[in-house]
Chains A and B, each alone.
Chain A
């Protein structure tokens, strides 16, 4: 998966795949409704759906600016 590829590429990136139903509190906190949902830095950014590489890059870039 894309997030895991990014983790492999960068020592600064960690990527965790979370089975939403097993961790309902965390999923609720991030308002997970559709999957996959990618949450960046505990809510600094969100991406819903399986998106292309450049889209996820843009969202990370935006989340890091905040």
Chain B
């Protein structure tokens, strides 16, 4: 299968204080289309930096990042925004829903930036809410939902623009193990439908849902394991 993501000798160096921090120190790796990866490692190992680069929220200091064979490592802010909008769906540990918007409006958010009209967006949001089992909560605000429900809204939102990759940053970190497993079931289902999933986690149980595990250490790939 084709590579969806390819890192070619990626460095990310932060100039903070006297000593530059080498968050990523020459990472070369590729992820195949339709795969399910877990990125693991202790804090400071570079996994968050890896996530920011994968999600086009940041640019590497050096090296090249190919997303579906397109070099995105030197794109400007507007172009990167567009890549995020069309290719990537984010799921965060702390859900990151917009508190003043209803469930439906939160799910519609990417569609708004894609320029969809209100009617079409609403229909899509309802479909996605049904998919994650929240069709009865469309008009609730995030504050009225449980943690598991909020994360399901976030999953629905990440799917709205039909992304090619879902990036999940500790998606179960704020959930108990039961609701965490529910979220993982949803992600596994999505992967089975063909969506590439890259997930950061430090919990081996959660990582076991993925096909491959990438262990990071000191800004380098330590080892790769297959489940």
Whether A and B are associated in the same complex: the answer reads no
B residues apposed to A, CB below 8 Å? none
